[in-house]
Every structure is written in structure tokens, then in C-alpha cells.
Amino acid sequence: MKVGWIRKAGRAAVLALVLVAPQGCAYLQDRGDDAAEMFDVGVTWTSEPCFSFNLCLLGLASIGGGYMDGHFAGIGGGQAGVMRHYHNGVDLLLWSYDEVAWGDDYDVEKPETLTAWYIGPVGWAQHPERLPDYAFA
């Protein structure tokens, strides 16, 4: 039985640890935070029937839309766990508008507590000041 690949993988893991260790725990914490902000995956539920579907294409365009005001369990909005969640939007590839909120720090009646942005080339041209954090400026 060949175990050479196990030794090579072990050496690579040790090398990775040696390179990362001097950076300290803050480095690993930052990478974990980055990973949590890269995607949203979980389960949602509401007390009233709602519909929302959104497919984001690398922050360049989106398709979908809908309305959802309920709860979310999973990884979302850079957080993990069970939390309140709100989404309202229309996504038409070249033009999209979305409002999103995670956690308990928002009020749907107060737009300043929601994260809102325009996506797609037409949306960016109309409202350059409302780009999402991850958009190319």
C-alpha cells in the first residue's frame, strides 16, 4: 500500500501551519470572517406566506426577487446562527434593487436601518452612490 501521498499531505499541512502561525490568531479569525461574508446559506421561515428567490452572479448582476420578512437559520449576513431576516427586491440582470437586513438591529419602516443597493450596469449608472460593499467601483 502506498502512503507517500499521506506524507506529502502531512508535510504540506505542517508547512501551512508554520507559515500561518506567526500571523497569530487574528489572521485566522479574519479569514473565518471573510469566509462567512462570501455566501449566505440556510433555511428561512415566516409566520405569513412569502416568496423570495435571488441568484447573485458575482455581484455583477442578479436575477430573482420577492419579499420575505421572517427568520433565518444558517450562515448569512456575515453571521452564523438563528436570526431575523428581511429581503425585498426586484432583480432583472441588468437592473436590480434589493433591501436586505439580518439580526435584530433593523426596522422595516425605517429605510436607514436596511442595507439597500442597486446592482447591474443600469442600476450602477442610475445610482452610483448605492453600490453594495462588494461591487467593483
Domain boundaries, the chain: 4-35, 38-130
Task: Show the cell assigned to 19.
Answer: 507559515
Instruction: Give, as one character, the DSSP assignment of residue 105.
Output: S
- How does pLDDT run across 74-101, given as a tens digit for each residue? 988 778 889 999 999 999 999 999 888 8
- How does pLDDT run across 106-134, given as a tens digit for each residue? 888 988 888 888 888 898 888 877 655 55
Q: Is 0.85 topped by the overall pTM?
A: no
